[in-house]
Amino acid sequence: MPEPTTTSAAAAAITSGSSHTGPGLAALFVAFLGPLAGPYALIVFAALAGSLWPLSGADAMTRTAGAWLMLRCTLTAVVLTAAVSNYIQTRYEVQAGEAFAPVAFLIGALGNGWRPLFAAVTAAFSRIIGGGKANE
């Protein structure tokens, strides 16, 4: 994962002994959770926001079941976001650090929709393979 700008800001706040209010919290997080606290906080909050969409579309459920759904979406985003962002960086020349929030948001918003996604990908592959065979 590339060095995020947030870590530098927090580290600067620690070393300079800044009296601002914001860096205090950021510095606290970095001190407790390490230099990647900022990007991971961003990923978690973006995924939480994204998971509100599948939650609001699911059949009425209890708060516990809703919390589990959000946790599942968020953890999926935490696992996949860095890899997807790095892929985007190599493919489209977008900085991975800038892609964290939108990617995590989209993964969170996907929610339980992975099965249709995989079905679409499989169908696309089938078409490609089928088309390739037809051309031979």
Partner 1 sequence: MNNTPVMIHEALCAVLFWSVFCRSVKADKRVRLSVRFAFMCLGLAACLGMAAPVVWAYQPHPVALAMLAAFAIVQVVTAALWVDGPPAPFIKFRFRNRRRRASDGLPMVQTREGETC
Binding site for partner 1 (CB under 8 A): 6, 9-10, 13, 19-26, 29, 37-39, 41-42, 45-46, 48-50, 52-53, 55-63, 65-67, 70, 105
Q: Are 106 and 43 in contact (CB under 8 A)?
A: no
Residue 4 phi, psi (nearest 5): -80, 155
Closest CA to 112 of 67, 63, 70, 81: 70
Tokens 């493919």 found at: 91
Residues in the chain: 136
> Rounded to an integer, what distance in angstroms lies between the CA atom of residue 136 and that of residue 121?
23
Nearer to partner 1, 49 or 84 (CB): 49
Nearer to partner 1, 14 or 80 (CB): 14
Residue 94: strand, helix, or coil: coil
Nearer to partner 1, 48 or 130 (CB): 48
Nearer to partner 1, 53 or 84 (CB): 53
